[in-house]
Structure 1
Amino acid sequence: MSTEVRVPALGESVTEATVATWFKKPGDAVAVDEMLCELETDKVTVEVPASVAGTLGEIVAAEGETVGVNALLATISEGEGAAPAPAAAAKEDAPAAAEAPKGHIDVPVPSLGESVTEATVASWFKKVGDTVEADEMIAELETDKVSVEVPAPQAGTIAKLLVEEGGTVQAGGILAELSAEGAAAPAPKAEAPAAAPAAASGSKDVENAPSANKMMAEKGLTADQVTGTGRDGRIMKEDVMKAAAAPKAAAPAPAAPRAPSPAEDAAREERVKMTRLRQTIARRLKDAQNTAAMLTTYNEVDMKAVMDLRKKYKDEFEKKHGVRLGFMSFFTKACIHALKEVPEVNAEIDGTDVVYKNFVHMGVAAGTPTGLVVPVIRDADQMSFAGIEKKIGEMGKKARDGKLSMAEMQGGTFTISNGGVYGSLMSSPILNPPQSGILGMHKIQDRPVVVNGEIVIRPMMYLALSYDHRIVDGKGAVTFLVRVKEALEDPQRLLMDL
């Protein structure tokens, strides 16, 4: 008897996926719920389990092929005695994996977050033979969304590292083994006080923050170039940022220029594998360029009215609502107002259909040390200024801490990106598919403008709307941006719904 293996449901508005990896080959025995292959969509990674035990037959969709929902992937032959053998073997192996050798403790992969099934080992902070304390950080994992620290389940000695740096681990897998016999190792430290100062001076007993180690590697800094402000001199991420921003010593006068050889250049290069998050960002942005007919229209807005209104009410606003009044709530409200008049900017293309959204899930792009993410403020059109400010603050903190879940970054209908916080004066934002529009904010700069026939100095900002011309016409795009401009230059229009 043969059972078909088909593509499972891929999520809201996702109609196809790419076969990323086959974990089995034809002829391999498989157990019920054993993972057969992995699919990738533009949003998530999906694992395909075996629904029955048996032997994997023909693989219909090879690695790299694109498949639709419910497409045939492979077949499983349910032969008598075909599945029990590997299942029994798995059961025999299970106690060994769970218990490990006598006196050994497994270090498991911690929870990776909703719908995240695998991670890459970014760094090992310990090596075989090192002693560790309970809950001491021994490794850092990276997923395509967040970084995850791995603590030691109890005190002991690192007996074996099962996955090397750069290796991929599955959720629930085992990373290393600890020897419980090494738990007594810290005792000799008390008997050898003479060795303690040397260890302290070498900072071997102080574990730096994993995020600090990662940033030092990125910035090309060593621990002796950074002053730690954490407990016992622990180096924190903020310490690395300060050291990186500190002025460097004047460089010696350069020697007479000469053409370097390729070998000399190669010796000074550094090759670093892209993180999963950066790979996902690169793929999605390139897909947006390849798929959408993307254009950008520009305008400028006089921010004086918003700045005056904010200055007048910011103290009272913060006292009442417990959150500062920023510019993002004004821009969010202005975009919501404009989206009601030009609904195609809040729509998306699904095959040959246009899907209009009668709600606004506002994406707010946020820069993090590992890359750009876009948390989504759901039903922003139903929120007050205070509600929007609180949600933006909450999501921004989660983004910086790497704590955003997959659900908090899905379902957006329109996006706002603020390049002005980095000093950008003008840019063309790229669409966040499958959305049809994204607003780019920029730096506020005093410029001379003509108002009522007179030249005056006003705080001006350039605005950019990138849109998908397949669904949004030029007239609609320009109208949208003009409505945003009008609402910001006269904020009372938002209250009057004009």
Structure 2
Amino acid sequence: MSLEIKVPSVGESITEVVLAKWLKKDGDHVEMDEVIAELESDKATFELPAEASGTLKLIAKEGDTLAVGAIVCSIEESGATSSKQDTPAKEEKEEIKEEVSKTDDKSSANTETKEIKVPSVGESITEVTLTKWLKQEGDFVEMDEVIAELESDKATFELPAEAAGILSLVAKEGDTLEIGAVVATIASGQAQSPKPKAESDSIEQKEKSSSSYADKSPSPAAAKILAEKGIEAKDVKSSGVDGRITKEDAMNAQKAETQKPKAENSPKTTNTESTPAQSSGNREERREKMTSLRKTIAKRLVTVKNETAMLTTFNELNMGPVMDLRKKYKDQFKEKHGVGLGFMSFFTKAVTEALKDFPAVGARIDGEEFVYSNFADISIAVSAPKGLVVPVIRNADSMTLAQIEKEVITLATKARDGKLSLEEMTGGTFTITNGGVFGSMMSTPIINAPQSAILGMHNIVERPMAVNGQVVILPMMYLALSYDHRVIDGRESVGFLVRVKQLLEDPARLLLGV
């Protein structure tokens, strides 16, 4: 009897998949529930199990795009013939498995399985990405122990174990999961500790001796990278579960590969008549899937450009007075407050003072209304490894320079470690971004919605300036204020930028409030 194996339904929004790799060959004997192929959708990778025991007959090919319900292969179910073909090792393994299953049946009454689901992490968040497993399949975990990291479009979260027991992974790294989706299960109860470990170990050893199907088998993403590089899977050092080659393994193999073509081609170049001309240099390409955070940043930036009347005005600032003041008191400041005196605290303080004179710059549009704030929550743009994040300094208008510097260091450290919470990145009224740390001379920053304005700082360059009829070399910085013209008029935007310039070119104004 022949059984057709079809593409299963793997999600509501998924209508087709790609047959990434066959794990078995045409004519192989497969067991019930044994994984025979890998299917890849636009969201995740899935394993295709055999629905019966028998002889496998391949129909689809690797790389084929298949609709859900399409036939992938067929299995000729076998009765007595299959038992004849089994080796003594397989028969012994089946006997051991039967003994283990009997023991499991006796102890299952004392075992409870707990489903670990994606928790609700915010009102506006409907899905997350499983970025990293911190525990592996079969590990014993304690109650509240962190087992995985989840990433939304705004922040990274830790997933704790809700019970103590043996972990069974359901989702894979890179999967996009909806809130409430099952991530893993934990088998807890008395059956876990006294479980017949000797029998299970013998099964694992026999399976390893016959070589796991995942051994030296690259994931779909890793296979693409290796194919582009022309590297054989057997030459790559694997670090995944059961010896699987992960995406990181494939990317790290690039360094060792770059030296090989030169060494191989060097003796052939002596025969210029028979060797065709080859282009010099490394012409390899690699692809990386966009993270949820990066996709959200891209959408927000395009939305701001399309839905706001954004305009940028510029001015130049003499940084000499601030630099002199900082140079004079930085040692005493650090000794007293335990933190260095940087430029960001001066700019933050100047912005909060200017917002008092021009409140429209800190306003925002909500429907058909303007919302004005009598406080200043200043967002600071930070370049983190996973993308640009904008943590918020709350009530910056009531903070001292030392308090601002400490808060900037705390938020920047959390951003680079991926530990920022949603509360620390929402609710700002105005944003400051410093492209000068990367050497930018001038730019037009994009507004951080739903805010209406953003101040761009740039690098400090000594330039000749005319002062009282004489040419003087001064440390100058260009300032850029991007603003939404629907909320802020030209008079207010220019006046705000001039006010910031006045406060920083004469820092005593910050103390005197004039």
For 1:320 and 1:101, the matched residues in 2 are separated by 64
Q: In the alignment, what sits opposite 1:415?
A: 431
Determine whether 1:428 maps to 2:435. no
Consecutive unaligned residues of structure 2, counting only runs of 5 or more, are: 1-10, 14-106, 206-225, 230-234, 238-253, 270-275
2:361 corresponds to which residue?
345
1:455 is matched with 471
Q: Does residue 119 in structure 1 map to residue 128 in structure 2?
A: yes
Residue by residue over 1:409-460, the C-alpha shift from the partner in whole angstroms, topping out at 9 and shown as x without a partner, is 2221111011112221211100112211100011122233333333333222
Check 1:167–1:489 CA distance in 2 against 1; reply closer, same or farther (3 A cut).
same
- Which amino acid is the alignment partner of residue 134 of structure 1? V
Separation (CA, whole Å) in 1 of partners of 2:370 and 2:185 = 54
SS in 2 for 1:325: coil
Please give the secondary structure, in 2, of the residue aligned with 1:494.
helix
How far apart, in 2, do the equivalents of 1:183 and 1:152 lie? Answer: 18
Distance 2:12 2:259 in 1: 53
CA–CA distance in 2 between the matches of 1:457 and 1:411?
41
Letter in structure 2 aligned against 1:140? E
Structure 1 residues 380 and 152: alpha-carbon distance in aligned structure 2, compared to 1, 3 A threshold: closer
Report Cα offsets for 1:204-237 as digits up to 9, x if no partner.
Answer: xxxxxxxxxxxxx9xx9xxx999xxxxxxxxxxx
Residue of structure 2 equivalent to 1:287: 303
For the 8 Å contact 2:118–2:182, the answer to whether it is kept is no
Corresponding residue for residue 310 of structure 1: 326
- Compared with structure 1, are the counterparts of its residues 405 and 318 closer, same or farther at alpha carbon in structure 2 (3 Å cutoff)? same
Residues 118 and 183 of structure 1: CA distance in aligned 2, closer, same or farther (over 3 Å): farther
The structure with the largest alpha-carbon Rg is 2
* Aligned positions of 1:7-406 closer than 5 A: 103=111, 105-106=113-114, 108-109=116-117, 113-115=121-123, 116=125, 118-124=127-133, 130-134=137-141, 139-150=148-159, 159=168, 161-171=169-179, 173-178=181-186, 256=277, 269-406=285-422
TM-score with structure 2 length normalisation?
A: 0.58
Cα offset, 1:306, TM superposition: 0.5
Give the structure 1 partner of residue 40 of structure 2.
none
CA distance in 2: counterparts of 1:175 and 1:304, whole angstroms: 56
Distance in 2 of aligned mates of 1:384 and 1:341: 19
Identity of aligned residues (%): 51
Question: Helix, strand or coil: the match of 2:335?
Answer: helix
Rounded to whole Å, the distance in 2 between the matches of 1:324 and 1:389 is 7
- 3-state secondary structure, aligned to 1:301: strand
Q: CA–CA distance in 2 between the matches of 1:488 and 1:250? A: 57
* Cα 1:138/1:326, change in 2 over 3 Å: same
Per-residue deviation at 1:339?
1.7
Q: Does the residue aligned with 1:471 lie in a helix, a strand or coil?
A: coil
Tell me the distance in 1 between the aligned counterparts of 2:260 and 2:464.
39
Q: Distance in 2 between matches of 1:185 and 1:426?
A: 67
**Which of the residues 462, 486, 503 maps onto 1:470?**
486
Q: CA deviation at 1:483?
A: 1.4
Q: 1:184 to 1:439 in 2, by over 3 A?
A: farther
How many residue pairs get aligned? The number is: 349
Letter in 2 for 1:338: A
1:416 counterpart SS class = strand
Aligned position for 2:213:
none
